[in-house]
Chains A and B, each alone.
Chain A
Amino acid sequence: MILYILLILMIIGAIAAVQMKDLLSSIVTVGAVGLALSLAFLVLKAPDLAITQLVVEILCLIILIRATLKKDLPFSTTGRRFFNTLVAVVFVIVFLALGYFSLKDLPVFGHPIMEVGAFYVEQGLIETGATNLVASVILDFRAYDTLGEATILFTAVIGVMAIMRRIGRKKVGEEIKESDEWE
């Protein structure tokens, strides 16, 4: 019951975030959606995900507020209104149809088809000694996946630094000193 209240709140918040005219109000509404998602994880008994979602949401909100406000971002409300509406409606219909046909045969919540989950639940504590089974899966049984995830974050940091620092944005023939490389 409380899960459905949270889901409806998230849908309302997402629609409001798109429709807001003010940029700051829109960002605050996105934050409300993230908080409701964190609470939904908590209701579904996934506290690891809830903690991670909450702190990442806070960080994203700070970055969004500091990086997007006070900047003149292009914002267009006019244009090909008929064409845009047609594309949106067709996309929503296709998305809903594909979702209906693909999610129809999902098993009941809490009854997975795969048998490997039962092995982790039974043998996780004996094999790894960790009482938090999520940690034993992501850092012992499936640590190779975590390595890939860490590589993604590392690559993202390197890419942001390479593109956004001063040397990456200089004009032709311009000299950049080492000291103001980050300004």
Chain B
Amino acid sequence: MSGSKRQEKGMTLIVKTITRLTVGLILLYGIYILLHGHVSPGGGFAGGVIIALSFIHIMLAYGKETAFSKLSKAKASLLESLGAILFIAIGILGFTGGYFFFNFFTDKGEAFRLFSAGIIPLCNIAISMKVGAGLFTIFVILVLLKFKTGGKDPRQGS
């Protein structure tokens, strides 16, 4: 956030201050929603979308350089692929008990606790990584692209 060059990008000072105060809380709320998906309403998809929204919040207020310094494009791509592989791996590990997506933890734990319900929290984490990184990538692609209209030279700075 330091440096005079970055201050000029993005929205006004009011939006930037409110963003700085709230964006951490939004990220924490997303992590809470996804970790408690098997105990209370929520789950991997909603938590992943909230996590993606916190990064989109930074990008809307501060511009794309600051947002890419928090979550770069390569890191988002890695996170999404890692989430997909993790989800498939949990499913394949179920073959140790007999069938695809078998809940291979024999001790399911105590109800209403955070560490319970076997593979369900692990699946929630995998899905949230996939959904969060994927929706952030879709937002970046759809918003940052500028289509050329008219007969301009396409190689001129876009």
Interface residue B116 (Cβ < 8 Å from any Cβ of A): yes
The smallest C-beta distance from A1 to any residue of chain B, in angstroms, reads 24
Evaluate contact between A154 and B120: CB separation under 8 angstroms.
no
Given A135-B37, A160-B142, the answer on whether A143 and B101 have CB atoms closer than 8 Å is yes
- Closest partner residue, chain A, to B101 (CB atom): A143
Interface residue A171 (Cβ < 8 Å from any Cβ of B): yes
**Number of contact residues on B: which range applies?**
35 or more
Interface residue A91 (Cβ < 8 Å from any Cβ of B): no
What residues of A have a CB within 8 angstroms of the CB of B80 in the complex?
154, 157
Once bound together, how far apart are the Cα atoms of A9 and B58, in whole Å? 33
**Number of contact residues on A: which range applies?**
35 or more
Interface residue A132 (Cβ < 8 Å from any Cβ of B): yes
Evaluate contact between A144 and B56: CB separation under 8 angstroms.
no
Interface residue B131 (Cβ < 8 Å from any Cβ of A): yes
Q: Which positions 111-158 of chain B face chain A at CB distance < 8 Å? A: 111-112, 116-120, 123-124, 127, 130-131, 134-135, 137-147, 149, 154-155, 158
What residues of B have a CB within 8 angstroms of the CB of A182 in the complex?
73, 140-141, 144
Interface residue A161 (Cβ < 8 Å from any Cβ of B): yes
Checking B52, B100, B116, B135 against A129 with a beta-carbon cut-off of 8 angstroms, the contacting residue is B116
Interface residue B93 (Cβ < 8 Å from any Cβ of A): no
Evaluate contact between A153 and B130: CB separation under 8 angstroms.
yes
Q: Which positions 111-144 of chain A face chain B at CB distance < 8 Å? A: 125, 127-132, 134-136, 138-140, 143-144
- Closest partner residue, chain B, to A47 (CB atom): B41
What residues of A have a CB within 8 angstroms of the CB of B117 in the complex?
128-131, 135-136
Evaluate contact between A147 and B112: CB separation under 8 angstroms.
no
- Closest partner residue, chain B, to A165 (CB atom): B141
Evaluate contact between A59 and B52: CB separation under 8 angstroms.
yes
Q: What string of 1s and 0s marks CB contacts (under 8 Å) between A141-158 and chain B?
A: 001101100100110110
Evaluate contact between A140 and B101: CB separation under 8 angstroms.
yes
Evaluate contact between A58 and B120: CB separation under 8 angstroms.
no
